Amino acid sequence: MMQTMDLRRVRPSFNGREFLAEFHWMTVIISLLSGGAVGSIITAAVGSWRNRVQPVSYLLEIKPIFDGNVGFPDSSAELSIPIDGEVFSFKNLHVVDIQISNTGNNDRSSFSWGITLPSGCQAVSGSIETPDRHHTSNWVSLPSPLNALQEVDLSLSPFNRGDGYRVKLYVTFEGDHAVEDPIIGTAEPVRFIRANNREILLELMASAAYGGRITLEAIMSSLRTMFR
């Protein structure tokens, strides 16, 4: 006998209310997409990113000049510098190495900032490395053995997106305790971010993605430090 299939058993059930609910949300999504709401959200997000308080990232490293790896114990090491017939001797000499980068999306014709060393610590010399001869730096007051400073102020010009400078302060401090981190500050409307090179590289790339400018030198500088 030929068997026949009962179509009532295989026919999918139809729920009108569920269909109307799903259709309603589909029409809402389509209208949002076609009406540009998503584009407005993206535009607002990009605008918020560009208008945020601009970041200035820096790397900070403090290293002893005499670390015991040159054949004599560091406790016996002392640096003597004759100046105008007077000899200045320094023990506990360290270098404070700061690499500062504009990781925001604003170009600045100049940038003034300062370094405040901890109590009992003074800078007796310093140097600044600029990206090229078109970038300049100025000390408000240059530290020296005759002009030891706890507060060091300087300016950079220009300080465009992706620009990076390197400042080295040679400091001496009282006692045998370790050198504490200095305070980096400025009156400019920025926020300082102490970061590693990977974070600075990500900031630079994000700045470029949202309309900033990133330089090959800025990328290579970050990569060189990351993998050294």
Whether 91 shows a pLDDT value over 50: the answer reads yes
Residue ranges of domains in the chain, CATH in brackets: 55-194 (2.60.40)
Whether 160 shows a pLDDT value over 70: the answer reads yes
| 95 vs 43, higher pLDDT | 95
- Judged by average pLDDT, the poorest of 137-146, 156-165, 202-211 is 202-211
- Whether residue 206 contacts residue 198, with contact meaning beta carbons closer than 8 Å, is answered with no
pLDDT in tens, 164-194: 999 999 998 876 666 789 999 999 999 999 8
Q: pLDDT band for position 214 (50/70/90)? A: very low
Average pLDDT of the chain, as a whole number: 74
Residue type, 65: I
Q: pLDDT band for position 83 (50/70/90)? A: low
- For the chain, the residue count is 228
pLDDT in tens, 104-114: 889 999 999 99
pLDDT in tens, 21-78: 565 666 666 665 555 655 555 554 444 545 568 999 999 999 988 765 545 454 556 6
Q: What secondary structure does DSSP assign to the chain, as a single string? A: ------HHHHSPP--HHHHHHHHHHHHHHHHHHHHTHHHHHHHHHHHHHHTSPEEEEEEEEEEES--S-SSS-GGG--EEEEETTEEEEESS-EEEEEEEEE-SS--BS-EEEEEEPPTTEEEEEEEEE-SSTT-EEEESS--BTTB-BSEEEEEEE-B-TT-EEEEEEEEEESSSSPPPPPEEE-SSSEEEEE--HHHHHHHHHHHHHTT----HHHHHHHHHHHT-
Q: pLDDT band for position 92 (50/70/90)? A: confident
| 164 vs 8, higher pLDDT | 164
pLDDT of res. 86 = 72
pLDDT over 90 for what percent of the chain?
Answer: 39
Residue 184 token pair: 């980096």
pLDDT of res. 87 = 72
